[in-house]
Structure 1
Amino acid sequence: MTQSYLAPSAFKSLDVFLNTLKVGTIVRTPGDFNAFSFDPAYRLTGGVPVLSLSFRSATGGLRKDPQPMVGVLPAFFANLLPEDKLRAALEKHHAGDVRPGNDFDLLAALGADLPGAVRVLATDGSEIRAPHEEGALTKARFSLAGVHMKLSVMKNAGKSRGLTLPLVAGEGQYIAKFPSTAFPGVSENEYANLALAEAIGMDVPERELVERSDFEGIPKDFQTFADGKVLLTKRFDRGAGTRRVHIEDMAQVFGVHPSRKYEGAAYHDIAAAIATAVSPAAALEFVRRLALAVITGNGDMHLKNWSLIYPGEGAAPELAPVYDLLSTVPYSPADSLALSLGGEKSFKAITAARWKRFANRARLPESGVLLAVSETLERVNASWWTLPERTLIPKRVLSRIDGHIKTMTTTLSVD
């Protein structure tokens, strides 16, 4: 049978899979209504492997199918798509096939290579318009959440040993984050902060700094004009070969659309959710990571920068490795926390009293939370000042990070 090829804007129905297991269908109806329904066979399993905790009922099993939405996808699927400049680049890259601002079109175009183990494919078996049909080069057909200009890439095994876009969906084993003209030294900043997190005992992805010249065939729509290193991190949602490991971020857990990632919940809500879904010990590990964000001045740890991962059969979540670690205060001295901590966002207001309020709201023991914070502060000061990677950060940026850590050391050391 001859394979049919369609533009993403022509698709009317998409099947949703976790790896190879069909879990449901998204249908687009006249008027641009998007409706998701669970597959009857998947519903009989009670929702195992887990697609999202947001779809689980309090008594177990799956909730009713979510209400159809006009013009946008249900929150879980909307959070699989890129935002801002990265979304604009992908829409431009697929101009003519994807209408700007249309979630369904973009999901159809990128659905074979999404974050985690989710795959979204045409119900009738049609494939996205093949590049060779138009005599074009291979299209970038991956989706990564977030706004930063980035690519999902693979390392060539040939003589060139360079980095390139994968030819097969899911083969991208690394995320390449490109430098920014607005934020000098951002790659080195994040690289050093990841090294710090690892030095104090946190689970972080493998990473390295590479040159732009190491990449082959970057589509022009993803080119940036900034000079500097590219941060390459190993994807923890990809296993050997094309095996995928399911993940979901906290915006998906809470059923919050990307536009509300800075307001859809507070940090104590995340802690409470982790304590319930994973364990109280995992919630205290979240506290350590949150304390690190406070100490280093990371004002961008919104709902999409915390994730759960579903290893093995995908029946139960664990806390995913920590990611998107960098200090934002060098670029915005008046920056504050992305979400509320004990009723406050200002870094300098996050005293022991605020941590106690956070603990009570999260239903965690005060003593355990305060110990996690104090131990993190002690470990940061024992590691940061001699950390080899800090020397890679531009001096002006490093000076501001150092100043913030000193200020927060004083703030957090006062009962």
Structure 2
Amino acid sequence: MMITMKQNSRAPNAITSLDVYLNSLKVGVIVRTPGDFSAFSLNESYRQTGGHPVLSLSLRAASGGLRKDPKPVSKTVPAFFANLLPEDKLREAMEKHHAEAVRPGNDFDLLAALGADLPGAIRVVPSEGSLAVQPVREEGKGKARFSLAGVQMKLSVMKNTGKGGGLTLPLDDNDGQYIAKFPSTAFPGVSENEFANLALAEAISMEVPERELVEKSDFAGIPEDFDTMSDGKVLLIRRFDRDEGHSRIHIEDMAQVFGIYPARKYDGAAYHDIASALNVAISPSAALEFVRRLTLAVITGNGDMHLKNWSLIYRGDGNTPALSPVYDLLSTVPYIPADGMALSLGGERSFKALTADRWKAFAHRARMPEPAVLRAVTDTVALVNENWWQLPERAHVPDRVLDRIDAHIKTLTPILTSCANS
């Protein structure tokens, strides 16, 4: 079944109703009411399926069925949909790009403008088939309509085929198959930093998306709204929510699972809450894999693993969640020396305070077996030290950044290894 749209169009700020699709299946509708309230309701036909394929675990009631439709929210859209939108600089750029139709800070307007290319398998399109377009467009030029959650300047891009190749933004209804993360003047070497950390994760047998470092000159047709003044490499990552045939694979991040707005991604829950959810929704082994990834964040000094940097993926029939591949792996301590964990781990955030007692507290709160948690920590630390020091991708990282990562790993290794003696 294909989603078809009539030829008539309206600007996003004039649209009052959005149909929500999970791939080709219509699952619900978001209605904007006078006074700028938004209400989301599930289709009765979707309710009768019991919620299959899964839109979000946040819709599940304790009894296993679906919750009642949430109450209307003011001046925003429901949390699940708010978490699909870009933040900070990327949001500012996208609002500027759609300035004729999207009012600054208006989530519904932005969702209407970008809903055709959201993370995962979600499509949000104006009801009655009216296509959300700009009332004024430059002759011969389309608009970028993708949305990527997060604050870094990153773009959904596609590889051009044929003579010349290169990379460009998907415009209008085209889908991007890659995420391009651009260099930053504030954080030198950030692309190379993440490139090396992803390589380390792969070396210790974690599921990692394909990636490469490319030049800014490899890109063509990037609208100036999205250009950055920074020089340096661009990190190109294969999207794991798009398959080789360009079909969409559904994902949701933990902020969506918990029904928490992006503004609370650093304090809306703790790491044991994520582990507990994975234990119940997937399996104990998934929860232990989370512990391994959490340990990697600690030992490499990654202080930005907030709720939106952990996701579930729904492959196959879309009914069974699994941990998504790892993403947004980089060391933040070279840029923020006093950084700590994004969320609380056993009641602590300071890296140096994450001794065996903190991991035991984490295990207790997550209702996980303490010996298995401590063993996952120490095994991961050993694997990091076996692989990091001779990792080929280290050569790409600027010396100043690399020195600080190295120093952090050396400092944290004995602290984390103490878990073996507890």
Same fold at TM > 0.5: yes
Match of 2:13 in 1: 9
Q: CA deviation at 1:241?
A: 3.1
| 1:406 lines up with 2:407 in the alignment | no
Residue 107 of structure 1 corresponds to: 111
- Give the counterpart of 1:171 among 167, 175, 190: 175
- The match for 2:239 among 235, 239, 253 is 235
8 A contact 1:73–1:103 mirrored in 2 = yes
Partner of 2:237, secondary structure, is strand
Aligned to 1:116: 120
Question: Hey, what's the Cα distance between the residues in 2 that align with 1:2 and 1:247?
Answer: 29
Give 1:128's aligned amino acid. Answer: A
Give the deviation of 1:217 after TM superposition: 0.3
2:34 corresponds, among 30, 42, 46, to 30
1:144 aligns with 2:148: yes
Amino acid at match of 2:200: L
Q: In the aligned structure 1, how far is the partner of 2:160 from the partner of 2:403?
A: 38
Q: In the alignment, is residue 338 of structure 1 matched against residue 350 of structure 2?
A: no
SS in 1 for 2:129: coil
Instruction: Say which SS state the counterpart of residue 221 (structure 1) adopts.
Output: helix
Distance (Å, rounded) in 2 between the aligned partners of 1:260 and 1:116: 21
Cα distance in 2 for partners of 1:170, 1:203 equals: 27
Taking the aligned partners of 1:315 and 1:150, their CA distance within structure 2 comes to 29
| CA 157–134 in structure 1, closer or farther in 2 if over 3 Å, else same | closer
2:143–2:172 Cα contact (<8 Å) kept: no
Tell me the number of residue pairs that the alignment of Structure 1 and Structure 2 aligns. Answer: 415
Q: Retained in 2: the 8 A contact 1:112–1:170? A: no
Partner of residue 379, structure 2: 375
> How far apart, CA to CA, are the structure 1 residues paired with 2:334 and 2:169?
32
- The yes-or-no answer on 1:388 pairing with 2:395 is no
Q: CA deviation at 1:160?
A: 1.0
Give the whole-Å Cα distance in 1 for the aligned partners of 2:137 and 2:268. 43
Of stretches 250-259 and 54-63 in structure 1, the one that deviates more from structure 2 is 54-63
Instruction: Report the residue type matching 2:379 in the other structure.
Output: E
Aligned pair partner of 2:43 in 29, 39, 47: 39
Correspondence for 1:214: 218
Q: CA deviation at 1:133?
A: 5.4
Partner of 1:285: 289
Matched, 1:304 2:314: no
Partner amino acid, structure 1, of 2:182: F
Identify the match of residue 275 of structure 1 among 273, 279, 284.
279
Cα 1:130–1:83, aligned 2, differ >3 Å: closer, same or farther?
closer
**Contact 2:265/2:307 (<8 A) preserved:** yes
Partners of 1:273 and 1:42 in 2: CA distance: 24
Question: Deviation at 1:2?
Answer: 6.8
Are 1:170 and 1:244, in contact at CA under 8 Å, matched by a contact in 2? Answer: no
Aligned to 2:88: 84
- Worse-matched range after superposition: 234-243 or 308-317: 234-243
Q: What is the CA–CA distance in structure 2 between the aligned matches of 1:242 and 1:35, rounded to whole Å?
A: 31
Deviation at 1:6, TM superposition (A): 1.1
Distance 1:27 1:378, change over 3 A: same
Q: Describe the SS at the equivalent of 2:147.
A: coil
CA displacement 1:275-326 (0-9 Å, x = unmatched): 1000000000000000000000000000000000000111110010000000
Question: What residue is the counterpart of 1:360 in the other structure?
Answer: 364
- Displacement of 1:5: 1.4
* 1:143-169: CA deviation from partner (whole Å, max 9, x where unpaired): 000000011001111111100112463
Structure 1 residues 154 and 145: alpha-carbon distance in aligned structure 2, compared to 1, 3 A threshold: same
**Do the aligned residues in 2 keep the contact of 1:237 with 1:244 (CA within 8 Å)?**
yes
Residues in 2 aligned to 1:194 and 1:2: alpha-carbon distance in whole angstroms: 43
Aligned-partner SS, 2:32: strand
User: 1:176 aligns to what SS in structure 2?
Assistant: strand
**Kept after mapping to 2: 8 A contact 1:171/1:241:** no
The whole-number CA distance in structure 1 between the counterparts of 2:189 and 2:61 is 45
Report the residue type matching 2:170 in the other structure: P
Whole-angstrom CA distance in 1 between matches of 2:168 and 2:300:
33
Query: 1:189-268, aligned counterparts within 5 Å?
Result: 189-268=193-272
In structure 2, the partner of 1:161 is 165
Aligned mates of 2:174, 2:147 — CA distance in 1: 10
The 2-side partners of 1:285 and 1:62 are apart by 28
Which amino acid letter does the alignment assign opposite residue 95 of structure 2?
Answer: E
Larger deviation: 229-238 or 136-145? 136-145
Q: 2:102 aligned with 1:94, yes or no?
A: no
Is contact 2:87-2:150 (8 Å) kept?
yes
The aligned amino acid for 1:405 is I
Do the aligned partners of 1:293 and 1:301 also contact (CA within 8 Å) in 2? Answer: yes
- 1:20 aligned residue (24, 32, 49): 24
SS in 2 for 1:141: coil
3-state SS, counterpart of residue 364 of structure 2: helix
Q: Aligned-pair RMSD on alpha carbons?
A: 1.3
Extract unaligned runs of 5+ from structure 2: none
Look up the SS of the partner of 2:142 in the other structure: coil
Is the 1:79–1:258 Cα contact (8 Å) retained in structure 2? yes
Q: In 2, are the aligned partners of 1:301 and 1:337 still within 8 Å (CA)?
A: yes
Residues 2 and 101 of structure 1, relative CA distance in 2, 3 Å threshold:
closer
User: What is the distance in 2 between the residues matched to 1:350 and 1:165?
Assistant: 42
CA separation in 2, counterparts of 1:141 and 1:2? 18
CA shift, 1:170, in A, is 5.4
Matched, 1:349 2:353: yes
CA distance in 2 between counterparts of 1:317 and 1:2 reads 35
1:296–1:405 contact (8 Å) kept in structure 2? yes
TM-score, scaled to structure 2: 0.97
